[in-house]
Amino acid sequence: MDFEYRTLVMAVLLVGGALFLASCTAIGTGRATLIRADRPVDQSGQTIYTGREFDHLLVQPAPKFSGKLTGKISEQAWGEYRRSIYGNETGTAANIAVSARDQSVTPAIVPLDAIRSNTGDIAKVLLDPKLSAQQKDKLIIQLRDSLLSAPESPSRLVQHGQTPTGSIVYHYFPQLTLDLTGTLQSADALDRFDFIAAAIRIPGNSKARFINFAPKAADLFDFTLGQLKQSASATAKADAGRTGSDVEKAGSTPAVGSTAAQESTRGASFGAGLNFALSDELTRDLRSSLEARSAGILDNGKLFLVELRSNDQRRIAGTYNFDVMLEVPSDIEKSTAESPVAYTLSNPQETEVMAEVRVVGIIRHVARSGQTGIFKKAPEPLNDDVFREVVVRDMLVPLWSFNNIPLAQIAENFNLTVLANEDDASFSVLDEASKVIGYGTGRFNRLSIPAGTKARIAFNPINRVTTNQAFILEAPAQSVEAGATPVVAVGAYTTRKPE
Question: Omega into 379 within 30° of 0, i.e. cis?
Answer: no
Does 298 have pLDDT greater than 80?
Answer: yes
Q: Which pLDDT does position 282 carry in this prediction? A: 45
The residue with greater pLDDT, 376 or 274, is: 376
* Amino acid making up residue 492: A
User: Which residues are within 8 A (CB) of 196 and not within 5 positions of it... i.e. 6 or more apart?
Assistant: 96, 180, 182, 307, 308, 316, 359, 360, 361, 362
Q: How far apart are CA 316 and CA 304, in angstroms?
A: 20
Q: Which of 173-182, 265-274, 307-316 has the lowest mean pLDDT?
A: 265-274
pLDDT band, very low/low/confident/very high, at 401 (cuts 50, 70, 90): very high
Does 257 have pLDDT greater than 60?
Answer: no
CB atoms closer than 10 angstroms to residue 379: 13
Does 281 have pLDDT greater than 60?
Answer: no
Q: Which of 90-104, 199-213, 378-392 has the highest mean pLDDT?
A: 199-213
| Fold of the domain built from segment(s) 413-496 | Immunoglobulin-like (2.60.40)
Q: How far apart are CA 70 and CA 79, in angstroms?
A: 13
Q: Which pLDDT does position 317 carry in this prediction? A: 75
Is the CB of residue 213 less than 8 Å from the CB of residue 324? yes
Beta pairing class for 330-334 and 416-420 = unpaired
Q: Where are the domains of the chain?
A: 30-101+154-228+287-401, 107-148, 413-496
The residue with greater pLDDT, 310 or 292, is: 310
Q: Which residues pair with 361 in a beta bridge?
A: 196, 391
Over residues 442-455, the mean pLDDT reads 83
Does 238 have pLDDT greater than 50?
Answer: no
pLDDT in tens, 347-400: 999 999 999 999 999 998 888 877 776 666 776 777 788 888 999 999 999 999
Q: How far apart are CA 256 and CA 272, in angstroms?
A: 51
Does 291 have pLDDT greater than 70?
Answer: no
For residues 72, 76, 82 and 83, what is the CA-based torsion angle, rounded to 10 degrees?
Answer: -120
Q: Which pLDDT does position 248 carry in this prediction? A: 54
Q: Which pLDDT does position 203 carry in this prediction? A: 93
Is the CB of residue 411 less than 8 Å from the CB of residue 167? yes
- How much is the mean pLDDT over the chain? 77
Q: How far apart are CA 181 and CA 124, in angstroms?
A: 43
The fraction of the chain above a pLDDT of 90, given in percent, is 18
pLDDT in tens, 335-353: 776 666 667 888 999 999 9
Does 93 have pLDDT greater than 60?
Answer: yes
Over residues 229-243, the mean pLDDT reads 51
pLDDT in tens, 316-325: 777 888 899 9
Is the CB of residue 394 less than 8 Å from the CB of residue 427? no
